[in-house]
C-alpha cells in the first residue's frame, strides 16, 4: 500500500462539488435555453425562463429569511409553480415539503406543525384546505397564494402574497448555490399511514441526484421526453422526475386533473410520450369513451407501480399503442427503486407469459445498491425459489436519511443495515423480486390461504371488468370469504354478480370464488392506489 | 433553520454506500447473468462468468498481499483480461494502472517505478516490451502472463505466473467489497507528455461511477449496446466505458487490432452498434477497400474526439450508416466530459451547417459541473462571441484527484478552483465551446495567423484526400508557411501536389495555401491522434 494515493490528492473546488439535482437545472438553461420546459394549457415556458423563475423564487425566499434546513410546504396539484418549487426551494438550502392535497385539514395541520413549515405555497384549488389547516395549526408560515390550479378562491387564505408578486421580489440572477453538503435534506414527504400520524420521510440532494439518473437507466430514457404529469408531484416528488426532466431537457406537460380525455389530448396535441401512473389510471385510459379517445402515431411509454398490471390490461395497452414498464418502490426510497427490467428474449413469449413476467416487481435500480427478500428474523436471504415468503428489503444511496424527529422509527426501519419495506415477497430463481400479499391482504377461508391478487387477476379476464379489488369479508362458517368490488366498463353495466361468479368458477378453485360481488367505483388514494382498508370496512358492513 | 434535519438522520449501512462502478458489475451478474458480456474471437463470456472471474482475480491478488492503494499495472490491448482488470483490481482496493502499449521500454520502466507497481499483467504482444522495461526498472512486481492478444512470446518475461493459473488461485465467491471511501483511487493513467516524464493522473471511484452514467446521458445509450473496442482501454480506462457497459448490460466486442476489415466484421457478424474512435479511424473505415467492407442493416453510432470531424467525413459517414457524436476531454477528466449535444432542430440544416455545428466541442456532460472558457489571467469568462480566445477550463466530480506524487503540478492544474486544460478555445453565443489551435498549432506567416484546422478542413474537401494534417514549416521570407501532409484515398494515388495546391487556391485565402505538400501515412499516437510534433520536425527537415 502506497501512501502516495493519499497525499496531495484532496478535494478542491476544481474536482469536487456536492451532488445535487439543482446542477441539472443550471445546465438545462445553458444547453437548451429555448426549449420548452413546461406546458400548462396555453402557457409555454422555456428552460431559460424556468431557471430565472426558480432563482427569483430562491431569492425571494431568502429575502424573507428562509434558508438552509428551513421548510417550505406546498399544497398544489401538478402546476408550473409546483415544478418550480422543486428547484427554487432547495436552491436556498431549504427543504421542500409537498403535501398530499387530498388529506384532511387536521392532517395537513399536523404536517405543517410537525415539519415546522416556514412558508406555504397554495394554489386556488387547495386554498380552502390550506385555510382550514392554518386555523388548526400552531405554525404561522408565510403564505404564498399561487393563482394556478383548478377552481377555488384564494381569498379564503389568511394574509398572503401572490406568487407572481413574490417572484417579482426576487432576483433572476440570484447566485446559483449548491448545498453545503450533498447529505443535506432536499425534501420532506409524509407517508399516508392508515393508522396514527404520518411519518416525515427526509431525503437528500445526493439521493435525488442519483435517482434522477436512475430513472434514465430504468426507463431507457433518451433526451427530450415529453412527460405528462399524471403522477402527483406531491407523491415522493413525482418519483424524482422533475429532476430527471432537467437532466434530459425534457418537457413537462401539466395535467391538473387526471382524466382520460385530458390524457389523450396531451398525447395527441403535445406529443406526450411518457407518463407514470397507477394501474387504475391505465384502466381509465383504456376505458375512455369515443369522445375522449384521440388517435396518435407514436408509442407512449407508461411506468406503472402500486399493483402489477393484469394480463388483459397489458394486452389492451399494447394494442392501444402504450408500452408498460412495471416498477416498485416507496416514499422512503425516493419513489421506485425496483424495476421489472425487461429481457429482450421475453418479447418472444406469448402474452400470458409476458404478463406473468411483467407482473413481477423486479430488480434494483442501477443506482440502488440492493433490493432483496430476507427472513426478517434471521436477516438471511430466503431461497430464490419463487415461493418462500420473506420481507422485501433495500439498501443503498436512494434510501431516505430517515424519519423526521422520529429516531425510534428510523432505527427500526434501518435495523440490521437494511431498509425494511414491510412488504412481503419472494425471490425468483432469476433474481427478480415479486411481492405477495401483505398479511392483511391474504384471505383465510376455511383454513385455506387465498391470494386476493390471484382472484383479482382472474376477474380481470372477464371482458366487462374495468377494475376490481378483492378483500376478505368476515364469515361465520368459513372465517373469511372473498368479496369482489368491481367497476364495469362503460356499456357493460348490465353485467350481473351471477355472471362474474360463473366466470370465476371457470377460472379459479372453488374456494377462491368470490361469495360477494359489489359494483361501483373503487375508493382510491391520491396516487390511484385502491384503498383496501375502506373496502374491508364496507365488506364487514354488508 | 430547524435542527431537526440534522438529528438522528445520519449515514447508516442501509442508506449510504460509497459510489463505485463495481456495483454495476455485481448488478449485471444478477440482472443479466446469461447475457454475453464479452466477445473475443470465438470466445463468449457471460456476465455471471465475468463477475466470477473478476472476483477470482481480486481474490488471487489479495492472497498475494495486494490490497488498498497498491498498484496493479497492465500492458495489454483490448482483450478480456484487460476488461476484467477494470473490475478485479479495484475490487481489492488496489489501483489499476493501464499503460499505453506503444510507449518505449524506458518510459514504461519509469511508469512502473513511479507508480510503484506491485503486480503487472502482460499479454503476448506486450511481453517483449514488458521484459525490456522490467530490466530497466527498480520495482519487482508480480508478473502475470496473459495468454491473450496478438502474436508474441510470453517466455521472454522473467519469472511469471499464467493468468488462468493465477485466477485458479482465487475464489469465485470472493466477497464483493466496495472501497472504504468513494474518494479512494481507482485508476492511475499516465499522460503521454511530449516533453519530460509523463504525469500520473489519479482518478477515484466516485468519478468513475458518475462518468459511467455520464456516458449514458451524453450518448443517449439504451440498454444492451454492442460496443466495439476500437478505443484502447489503456486510454483513460476506455473513457469509463468498461463500467458503462456493466451498468447497461452491454456486450464488449474485443478488437485487438484496429483495422477496417475487422471493424466491418464486428458490425456485420456481432451486430456491433457503438464504438469510440479518433477521426483518423473514421477515415480508415471510410477508406476501406471492397474486400474489407461488409453490408450491415443497423445504424452504428460513433463517438469521436481528438479533432472535429470535417464536413466531408461527416457526410460520408452518414451515407455509410454511421451516426457521429463529437466529444472532447482529457485524461484528467476521465476521458470526454464535453459533448456537442445535438439540438433536434439542427437536423433541418444543410450538411455544411450541420458539420460546422458538430465541429464544435460543445457543452459539459450532465455529470460534470462546468466546462467553460476563461481568461487565464483574470479567471473571468471570455465574452460568448465565438471569437475571443481563452483557456478551456472545467470543474466538477469527473475531474481527477490530481497527479501522483506531483503536488506542484496538481496545484497548478487546479489553480483558482478550475482544472486548466491548456487548450485554447472560444465560447459561442449558444453556450457551446469550440477549441482553437493550441498556440503551437497556429502558423504565423508574414505576420498573419493561420489556423491549421481551417486549412485542414478546406483540404478535406478535395475528393482524393483521405487524411490531412497541416503544420508550420520555417521559411526565411515569411517566418512560417503551411505545410500539408496528406494520405490519399486508395485508387487516387495519382493526385499531385499541384492538384492539391490548385484546389486550396480556390478554397482558401492566398496566404493560407500550403507551400509544401507531402504525401504518405501520418504518424499517430496509440489513440489515433496525429502526432503533429513529429510532422513539425519533418517539415523543418524538408
- SS3 per-residue string spanning A215-253: HHHHCCCCCCCEEECCCCCCCHHHHCHHHHHHHHCCEEE
Interface of A with B in 301-340 (CB under 8 A): none
Name the strands in the sheet holding B322-330, side by side, starting at the edge strand that comes first in the sequence.
B43-46, B36-40, B251-253, B226-228, B274-277, B300-304, B322-330, B335-339, B363-364
Band of the pLDDT at A194, cuts 50, 70, 90?
very low
The C-alpha cell at A153 is 378562491
CB pairs under 8 A between A and B: 182
pLDDT at B507 over 70: yes
Q: Do the Cβ atoms of B27 and A183 come within 8 Å?
A: no
Parallel, antiparallel, or unpaired for β B43-46 and B36-40? antiparallel
Residues A67, A59: contact at Cβ < 8 Å?
A: no
d(CA B407, CA B346): 44
* Chain A environment of B402 (Cβ under 8 Å): 8-10, 15
* Chain A environment of B5 (Cβ under 8 Å): 69, 95, 184-185, 202, 401, 404
Residue B312: the pLDDT is: 80
DSSP for A427-482 reads E-TTS-EEE---GGGEEEETTEEEEHHHHHHHHTTSTTEEEEEEEEEEETTTEEEE
* Chain A environment of B68 (Cβ under 8 Å): 1
On whether the pTM is more than 0.95, the answer is no
Interface of B with A in 247-266 (CB under 8 A): 247-248
Interface of A with B in 107-126 (CB under 8 A): 116
pLDDT at A196 over 90: no
A402 Cβ under 8 Å from any chain B Cβ: yes
d(CA B393, CA B370): 8
d(CA A270, CA A293): 15
Residue B193: the pLDDT is: 54
More confident residue, B366 or B452: B366
The C-alpha cell at A131 is 385555510
Global ipTM: 0.87
A220 Cβ under 8 Å from any chain B Cβ: yes
Q: Do the Cβ atoms of A222 and B223 come within 8 Å?
A: no
Nearest-CA residue of chain A relative to B66?
A1
The C-alpha cell at B464 is 482524393
Parallel, antiparallel, or unpaired for β B390-395 and B419-427? antiparallel
Closest CA of chain A from B59, distance in Å? 16
A412 Cβ under 8 Å from any chain B Cβ: no
Closest CA of chain A from B373, distance in Å? 14
* Chain B environment of A3 (Cβ under 8 Å): 69
More confident residue, A475 or B237: B237
- Sequence length of chain B is 542
| Of the listed ranges A295-299, A471-475, B345-349, the one predicted with least confidence | A471-475
Taking each helix axis from N to C end, the angle separating B241-248 and B80-88, rounded to the nearest 10 degrees, works out to: 80
| A215: nearest Cα among A196, A195, A231 | A231
pLDDT tens figures, B86-138: 999 999 999 999 999 988 899 999 999 999 999 999 999 999 999 999 999 99
Beta strands in B82-237 (DSSP E): 95-98, 117-123, 142-146, 161-162, 185-190, 200-204, 226-228
Residues B182, B207: contact at Cβ < 8 Å?
A: no
Band of the pLDDT at A314, cuts 50, 70, 90?
confident
Q: What is the mean pLDDT of residues A114-125?
A: 97
Measured from the Cβ of residue B476, the count of other Cβ atoms closer than 10 Å reads: 5
d(CA A442, CA A18): 45
B277 Cβ under 8 Å from any chain A Cβ: no
* Chain A environment of B67 (Cβ under 8 Å): 1
Whole-angstrom CA distances from A66 to A89, A142, B156, B312 are: 9, 10, 70, 56
Q: Do the Cβ atoms of B9 and A68 come within 8 Å?
A: no
Residue in B95, B213, B431 nearest the CB of A5: B95
* Chain A environment of B11 (Cβ under 8 Å): 183
Measured from the Cβ of residue A366, the count of other Cβ atoms closer than 10 Å reads: 25
Instruction: Tally helices (H) and strands (E) across chain B.
Output: 17, 26
Residue A527: the pLDDT is: 59
pLDDT tens figures, B49-84: 999 999 999 999 999 999 999 999 999 999 999 999
Instruction: Round the average pLDDT of chain B to a whole number and report it.
Output: 92
The C-alpha cell at B83 is 476488461
Closest CA of chain B from A426, distance in Å? 16
Q: Do the Cβ atoms of A369 and B17 come within 8 Å?
A: yes
Nearest-CA residue of chain A relative to B3?
A69
Residues B31, A366: contact at Cβ < 8 Å?
A: no
Closest CA of chain B from A136, distance in Å? 21
* Chain B environment of A396 (Cβ under 8 Å): 15, 17
Q: Helix, strand, coil: what percent of chain B each, to 5?
A: 35, 25, 40
pLDDT at B526 over 70: no
Residue B194: the pLDDT is: 46
Q: Do the Cβ atoms of B220 and A224 come within 8 Å?
A: no
pLDDT tens figures, B175-214: 999 999 999 999 999 986 544 678 999 999 999 999 999 9
Q: Do the Cβ atoms of A1 and B69 come within 8 Å?
A: yes
Nearest-CA residue of chain B relative to A413?
B14
A223 Cβ under 8 Å from any chain B Cβ: yes
Q: Do the Cβ atoms of A30 and B431 come within 8 Å?
A: yes
Amino acid at each position: 500500500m502506497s501512501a502516495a494515493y493519499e497525499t496531495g490528492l484532496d478535494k478542491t473546488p476544481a474536482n469536487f462539488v456536492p451532488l445535487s439535482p439543482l446542477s441539472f437545472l443550471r445546465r438545462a438553461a445553458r444547453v437548451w435555453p429555448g426549449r420548452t420546459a413546461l406546458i400548462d394549457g396555453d402557457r409555454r415556458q422555456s428552460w431559460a425562463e424556468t431557471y430565472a423563475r426558480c432563482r427569483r423564487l430562491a431569492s425571494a425566499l431568502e429575502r424573507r429569511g428562509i434558508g438552509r434546513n428551513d421548510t417550505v410546504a406546498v399544497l398544489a396539484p401538478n402546476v408550473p409553480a409546483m415544478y418550480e418549487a422543486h428547484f427554487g426551494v432547495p436552491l436556498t438550502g431549504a427543504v421542500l415539503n409537498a403535501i398530499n392535497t387530498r388529506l384532511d385539514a387536521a392532517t395537513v395541520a399536523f404536517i405543517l406543525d410537525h415539519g415546522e413549515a416556514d412558508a406555504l405555497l397554495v394554489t386556488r384549488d387547495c386554498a380552502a384546505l390550506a385555510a382550514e389547516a392554518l386555523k388548526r395549526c400552531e405554525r404561522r408560515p408565510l403564505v404564498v397564494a399561487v393563482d394556478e390550479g383548478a377552481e377555488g378562491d384564494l381569498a379564503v387564505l389568511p394574509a398572503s402574497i401572490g406568487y407572481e408578486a413574490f417572484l417579482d421580489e426576487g432576483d433572476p440572477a440570484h447566485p446559483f448555490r449548491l448545498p453545503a453538503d450533498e447529505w443535506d435534506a432536499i425534501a420532506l414527504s409524509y407517508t399516508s399511514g392508515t393508522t396514527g400520524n404520518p411519518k416525515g420521510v427526509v431525503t437528500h440532494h445526493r439521493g435525488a441526484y442519483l435517482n434522477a439518473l436512475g430513472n434514465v437507466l430504468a426507463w431507457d430514457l433518451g433526451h427530450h421526453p415529453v412527460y405528462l404529469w399524471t403522477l402527483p408531484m406531491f407523491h415522493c416528488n413525482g418519483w424524482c422526475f422533475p429532476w430527471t426532466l432537467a437532466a434530459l431537457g425534457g418537457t413537462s406537460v401539466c395535467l391538473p386533473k387526471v382524466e382520460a380525455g385530458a390524457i389523450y389530448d396531451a398525447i395527441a396535441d403535445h406529443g406526450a410520450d411518457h407518463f407514470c401512473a397507477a394501474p387504475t389510471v391505465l384502466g381509465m385510459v383504456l376505458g375512455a369513451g369515443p369522445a375522449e379517445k384521440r388517435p396518435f402515431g407514436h408509442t407512449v411509454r407508461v411506468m406503472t407501480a402500486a399493483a402489477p398490471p393484469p394480463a388483459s390490461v397489458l394486452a389492451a395497452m399494447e394494442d392501444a399503442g402504450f408500452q408498460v414498464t412495471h416498477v416498485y418502490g416507496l416514499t422512503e426510497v425516493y419513489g421506485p427503486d425496483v424495476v421489472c427490467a425487461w429481457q429482450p428474449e421475453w418479447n418472444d413469449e406469448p402474452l400470458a407469459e409476458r404478463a406473468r413476467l411483467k407482473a413481477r416487481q423486479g430488480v434494483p435500480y442501477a443506482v440502488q445498491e440492493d433490493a432483496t427478500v430476507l427472513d426478517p428474523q434471521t436477516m438471511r436471504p430466503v431461497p430464490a425459489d419463487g415461493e418462500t415468503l420473506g420481507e422485501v428489503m433495500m439498501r443503498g444511496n436512494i434510501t431516505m436519511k430517515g424519519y423526521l424527529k422520529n429516531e425510534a422509527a428510523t432505527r427500526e426501519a434501518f435495523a440490521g443495515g437494511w431498509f425494511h419495506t414491510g412488504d412481503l415477497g419472494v425471490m425468483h430463481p432469476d433474481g427478480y423480486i415479486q411481492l405477495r400479499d401483505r398479511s392483511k391482504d391474504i384471505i383465510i377461508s376455511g383454513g385455506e390461504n387465498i391470494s386476493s391478487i390471484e382472484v383479482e387477476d382472474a376477474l380481470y379476464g372477464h371482458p366487462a371488468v374495468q377494475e376490481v379489488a378483492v378483500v376478505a369479508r368476515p364469515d361465520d362458517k368459513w372465517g373469511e370469504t372473498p368479496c369482489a368490488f368491481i367497476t364495469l366498463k362503460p356499456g357493460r353495466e348490465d353485467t350481473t354478480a351471477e355472471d362474474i361468479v360463473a366466470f370465476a368458477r371457470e377460472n379459479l378453485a372453488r374456494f377462491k370464488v368470490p361469495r360477494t360481488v359489489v359494483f361501483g367505483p373503487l375508493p382510491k388514494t391520491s396516487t390511484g392506489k385502491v384503498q383496501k382498508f375502506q373496502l374491508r370496512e364496507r365488506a364487514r358492513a354488508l
